[in-house]
Amino acid sequence: MGRVVNKVAIVTGGSQGLGKADCEALVREGAKVMITDIKTAEGEQLAADLNAQRAGSAAFLQHDVRDESRWEFVVGETVKQFGRLDILVNNAGLVIPATPESTTLEQFRLHNAVMSEGVFLGCKHAIPAMHTTGGGSIINMASVATHLGYPVFFAYSAAKGAVRGMTKAIAVWCQMQKYNIRCNSVHPGATDTPMVAEANKLLGIPDEFYTQSGPGLGRPLDVANVVVFLASDESRFINGAELVLDNCLTIQ
């Protein structure tokens, strides 16, 4: 307990799946969390649940990560409510299964607007806020799709590949500027979340596929535990890294 006590976090896409698990784990370890999502009802309910566990530990803001002016508001409001910003978890995402030939331009642009431009905007506006109060940790949610060839997740893979590259550039930039801000990416394999369940449904992948395969299906808490570690001072010398959480999938 207390691994991120007195730290303040923004978690995008925080109302369900990996984002929800991140919020719960960060609060459990002492942080205050601004939950952001386009899903207002779910986000408000999660904030209420977390505040019932520890008063003043969470708040919610409706947030479309494609909107730069909203990013400015979210960062400013977080600092206004909680006094600082130490942690940014760029988690918001989506996946529409489609191959290189079947992906539409609109689908490709949507994936990149949410997961590439959204991460860019989050980092751009979080960096000054973190620097003002002495530094912080940016955690960008990527995927094993950046390491493997997944034609059926073509647009998703492209967007997550951009996240992988941006993470390293941001880490080096902040180090060059002596900002004391670390930036790392997390690359989960298939995890038991609503987004993965919906993709599997569209692709006709049965639940037993994962129990029969070697890697299996990860849990949101598996990812959240790594997010807490990267957010904490325990990981002070980990910067510009990509942490793959896939139970050997990418090396088989």
pLDDT computed for residue 232 by the predictor: 98
pLDDT computed for residue 213 by the predictor: 66
pLDDT computed for residue 212 by the predictor: 57
Q: What is the CATH number of the domain that holds 240?
A: 3.40.50.720
Residues in contact with 37: Cβ distance below 8 Å, sequence separation at least 6, in sequence order: 12, 13, 14, 15, 16, 19, 43, 60, 62, 63, 92
1 in any annotated domain: no
Percentage of residues of the chain with pLDDT beyond 90: 86
Q: What is the mean pLDDT of residues 72-76?
A: 98
pLDDT computed for residue 207 by the predictor: 66
Token pair in block for residue 109: 């642009």
Question: Kind and range of the H or E element at 136?
Answer: strand 136-141
Q: Rounded distance, CA 181 to CA 229, Å?
A: 15
Q: Rounded distance, CA 75 to CA 88, Å?
A: 10
Query: Could you tell me the pTM of the whole model?
Result: 0.94
| Catalytic residue check, 179 | no
* 3-state secondary structure (DSSP) of residue 135: coil
Q: Select the more confidently predicted residue: 58 or 204.
A: 58
Q: What is the mean pLDDT of residues 76-85?
A: 98
Percentage of residues of the chain with pLDDT beyond 70: 96
Tokens 């890294």 belong to: 241
pLDDT computed for residue 19 by the predictor: 97
pLDDT computed for residue 208 by the predictor: 65
2 in any annotated domain: no
| pLDDT band per the 50, 70, 90 thresholds, residue 120 | very high
| pLDDT band per the 50, 70, 90 thresholds, residue 4 | very high
Number of domains in the chain: 1
Tokens 């520890």 belong to: 54
Token pair in block for residue 114: 């949410």
Tokens 């029969």 belong to: 212
| pLDDT band per the 50, 70, 90 thresholds, residue 68 | very high
Annotated catalytic residue: which of 150, 156, 179, 210?
156
pLDDT tens, position by position, 85-96: 999 999 999 999
65 in any annotated domain: yes
Residue 1 has pLDDT above 90, yes or no: no
Q: What is the mean pLDDT of residues 208-227?
A: 82
pLDDT tens, position by position, 124-153: 999 999 999 999 999 999 999 999 999 999
How far is C-alpha 193 from the geometric centre of its chain's CA atoms? 13
Structural domain of 75: 8-251
Cα four-point dihedral sign 161, 227, 75, 41 = positive
Q: Which of 4, 1, 52 is nearest to 232 (CA)?
A: 4
State the helix-helix crossing angle for 154-176 and 105-112, rounded to 10 degrees: 30
Residue 191 has pLDDT above 90, yes or no: no
